[in-house]
Structure 1
Amino acid sequence: MFCSTELAARIERAETDLITMGSAAAAERLGGGGFTVPLAGGVASFAEPGSPLNKVAGLGFAGTPTTAELDDIEKRYAAAESPVQIELAHLADPPLAELLTARGYRLVNFENVLGIPLPDATTSSVPPGAIEVRPSDDTEFDLWLDIVAEGFAHPDSQGVASHEEFPRDIIANAMRDLTAAAGVQRYVATRDDQVAGAASLRLTNGIAQLTGAATLPAHRRQGVQSALLSTRLAVATTAGCDIAVITTQPGSKSQQNAQRRGFALLYTRAILLKD
């Protein structure tokens, strides 16, 4: 699958909308204190201390931020006692990376964006009946959250490690905000009648964003991730999406599973940080 700059811009707009909606919901929940500021086609977001929504996303496809705009953003994050984290696609306007480097941003990590066209003609390798996946509603949010938190507490050792860690309560706040404001759907997988994994999905403007998945350590290497992936792709196809995207750590088991399922590497985001 070929990724043009136009497709990358479309995916980054979806990411920008997701972050904007989640951060705005956090501000409403907390009665203010955060911010979402449009920035050269992207957004600068701060939800609450330690949140995964604290980032600048979507830059590089609608012009370059001015010096005054970057000064303002950096002052906002400084006032919130938070570093500025910019996630910059490698298909973005090249002068932007040079500008940020000159301002003292340092490269701390990468993340890969993979995609697959829908409808997807490949088949799942999950044995029939071995694993079941169901939608997870608000009545079992704590169960869903426990799976995600446990999964992230025991990350897979394959590939490049993430530079971030989030406590359970922060993950809970972010997911509640994203579910309420951005329409993120949650799913739970069971294996041999035992809860084994959890995942989430957002559908927007023909794009299916696979917004996270986790498998409990005791159930890894048993097809749980593949089952969660297949279910979400089927939901996205039924909803009329033409592409599904997933973000992974480079070289991770999640990336390997996605590529086995037919996903192609579309582009890489550089994670740039300024304290």
Structure 2
Amino acid sequence: MILTGPELARALELAEATHLSRQVDSFRALSRAENARTVAIAGGIAALTDPAFGRKLNHVTGFGMTAPALSFELAALESMYAAQGLETQIDICPHAHGSTLTLLAGRGYTVNAFSNTYVRYLTPADTFAASAGIEVVSDQALVGATFAADSVAGFSVQAVNRPRILLETLAQIALRRSDTLLFSATVDGQMAGTGGMSLIETPAGLLAHLYIASTLPAYRGRGIQLALLRARLNAARNAGCTLASVTARPANTSARNTERAGFSLAYTKSTFIKFLTSP
């Protein structure tokens, strides 16, 4: 399978849509918010949860990958987001249906962000060395006992800070997902960072989607995330995964660590946004 080809892109976008859908399902079970839902559209899914979560749990992915979008469908979706006081934000893969860009332009969308999708093939022979001085814990009971607090602490200082309620919710979602394995890293017995990995079936085989990785501020720059990446890749190989994927903003620390762990850039997605209009 070609690394940058449409077949792999469809598998990766399906995994991304599945991941987002499971996040919404877990949030609905956690919060009992019956209005939290996903809507199928143009081969992808739109997530609608709590407006307080911003685009993280309120956006569209996989759009136009297996079917062209229709204008009336998109108009209806825009109304759903507007009813919650949210802009419509759609992540577009370069391999989306050829009519996608024309449709979005005609409805007044503009690009306001980019994200990189990284992928790595896995074989049973792959091994990933542990990092000296860093212990990665994969016992789910041990990691899970403090994961929510540890994850929030790791995300507490960011270039763009996220609301604490979002960080807590994302951690609780990860804790409750049956497809997710959690990991923590310690240095001299002290918590240094955490990360998660979901296992998702795709047409290209079982895929490990690596996500919710954070490092406590005091331990940044010491290889914590690289150690967590390697540990998760070993776990993915042991689970029978043939692929691993990571999504990261271009040129940030997560992107650099991902490349150091042997991932390659499959494609860059553009986030198209339609801003709310004043009444």
Instruction: Give your verdict on TM over 0.5.
Output: yes
Off by >3 Å, runs of 4+ in structure 1 = 120-125, 136-143
Superposed, which structure 2 residues align to 1:115-126 within 5 Å?
115-119=119-123, 121=126, 123-124=128-129, 126=131
Cα distance in 1 between the residues matched to 2:270 and 2:85: 22
Cα distance in 1 between the residues matched to 2:266 and 2:178: 24
Q: 1:64 is paired with a residue of what secondary structure?
A: coil
Cα distance in 1 between the residues matched to 2:90 and 2:194: 28
Which residue of structure 2 aligns with residue 243 of structure 1? 243
Q: 2:57 is paired with a residue of what secondary structure?
A: coil
What residue ranges of structure 1 are gaps of 5+ in the alignment?
Answer: 156-160
What CA RMSD, in Å, does the superposition of the two structures yield over aligned residues?
2.1
Distance 1:179 1:11, change over 3 A: farther
Distance 1:151 1:174, change over 3 A: closer
User: What TM-score do the two structures reach when normalised by structure 1?
Assistant: 0.89
Cα distance in 1 between the residues matched to 2:83 and 2:245: 34
Which residue of structure 1 aligns with residue 218 of structure 2? 218
Distance 1:105 1:264, change over 3 A: same
Which residue of structure 1 aligns with residue 146 of structure 2? 143
Distance 1:68 1:258, change over 3 A: same
Of 36, 39, 43, the residue aligned with 1:37 is 39
Q: Structure 2 counterpart of 1:171, which letter? A: L
CA deviations 1:88-113 (Å, max 9, x no partner) are 11222232122112211121110101
User: What TM-score do the two structures reach when normalised by structure 2?
Assistant: 0.87
Which residue of structure 1 aligns with residue 233 of structure 2? 233
8 Å contact from structure 2 (residues 122, 241) kept in 1: yes
Distance 1:138 1:73, change over 3 A: farther
Cα distance in 1 between the residues matched to 2:209 and 2:76: 30
Of 43, 49, 67, the residue aligned with 2:71 is 67
Which residue of structure 2 aligns with residue 26 of structure 1? 27
Cα distance in 2 between the residues matched to 1:194 and 1:152: 17
Q: Structure 1 counterpart of 2:261, which letter? A: R
What residue ranges of structure 2 are gaps of 5+ in the alignment?
Answer: none
Cα distance in 1 between the residues matched to 2:188 and 2:210: 25
The number of residues matched between the two structures is 266
Distance 1:212 1:173, change over 3 A: closer
- Give the stretch that moved more between structures: 74-83 or 91-100: 91-100
- Give the stretch that moved more between structures: 24-33 or 265-274: 24-33
Cα distance in 1 between the residues matched to 2:144 and 2:27: 18
CA deviations 1:128-164 (Å, max 9, x no partner) are xx11111364676573233332333323xxxxx66xx
